[in-house]
Amino acid sequence: MIPITLPFLPPKEDYDILLHGIWKRQWLTNMGPLASDLEMKLKDHLGVDHLLFVTNGTIALQIAIKALGLKGEIITTPFTYVATTSSIVWEGCEPVFVDIDKNSLNIDPSKIEEAITEKTSAIIATHVYGNPCDVEAIEMIAKKHKLNVIYDAAHAFGVNVNNKSIFEYGDISTCSLHATKLFHSGEGGLVITKNSKLLKEMSHIRNFGHSGPETFYNLGINGKNSEFHAAMGLANFNYIQAIHDKRKLLTDRYDKKLKNLKAIKPIWHTKSSPNYAYYPIVFESESLLLECFEQLKLNEIFCRRYFYPSLANNLPYLETKSIKNTDDISKRVLCLPLYYDLALTEVDMICRLLLRVQNN
């Protein structure tokens, strides 16, 4: 059986060493030494000014929205994971969907301005599959209309644009460190900002709003993460480059073997390099996708229609809306298996099956 993904696990002895320290200190949560160490290591590795380690990528989004005090309408993409949209609704705001660019699969900046109203407070854009949005165009629009920008960078760990971290763009960026991500802490997330005032706001929000044992700075939530999750992140930290290199090797193999498949890959940002978080392909037709999907499943190979269907017409708490490019792409996109322990021979088998379906 070949799953869509498997989490990278470090050598167990690497994790056991860190667990021994947890048992010795009996400090399990509330930003212990391992959580603080992971924050510092990630800040240095990513080259960002300010970073907080939080419970997960969804809490990261909710903290970002709360820290900016967003109200009213938030322009966003319908081609993303549901957490992007649900976080907006959860925080009492209204998502306004803007269609995607059919090449990058990210929100189309040329369509943003027509969606802006007097109720618009922000743009939340997703770097889909880690592929950077047109951050320069979005920044220009945001400045012109005095809007905040949050980037859902759940997939974009390690991605740079113009030789600086993708997390440096926008008012706040968020990232997921979920077990399925290329770098993970089991469960976890990050909030990143250049603004020290926002950092202070989010730091207090993460800890119930406390400014001291008996005092409060602002409205807060429990967004802290445990020492056990931090330990997994620290154990994985030394393998970031190895994970990247293996995923690149697998991606290059897919590219070579599938060059004649009637499917295309999203076009990556020209001033950035891939982080190999996912291997998405957009089929020529939905019927071909479904045939390939079923054939792979018959051979116990499991792919994911990520993201299908469009969030604009699939959420019971929002009014249904048809959005041209998103509706079309979501029906034809499929993510193939990609993870550290996947073998090249398994990639070859997946590719043979896909091409066999096409050529029959």
DSSP symbols for 304-360: B-TT-S-GGGT-TTS-----HHHHHHHHHEEEEP--TT--HHHHHHHHHHHHHHHH-
Question: Do 12-237 and 240-359 come out as alike in CATH topology?
Answer: no
Is the pLDDT at 19 greater than 90? The verdict is yes
Whole-model pTM above 0.95?
A: yes
pLDDT in tens, 117-141: 999 999 999 999 999 999 999 999 9
**Among 3.40.50.720, 3.20.20.10, 2.40.50.140, 3.90.1150.10, what is the CATH number of 240-359?**
3.90.1150.10
Q: What percent of the chain has pLDDT over 90?
A: 99
Which residues are registered as beta bridge partners of 104? none
pLDDT in tens, 267-291: 999 999 999 999 999 999 999 999 9
Measured at the CA of 151, the angle between CA 145 and CA 155, to 5 degrees, comes to 160
Using the 8-state DSSP alphabet, how is residue 200 labeled?
H
Domain boundaries, given as residue ranges, for the chain: 12-237, 240-359
What's the topology of domain 12-237? Aspartate Aminotransferase; domain 2 (3.40.640)
pLDDT band at 360 (very low <50, low <70, confident <90, very high): confident
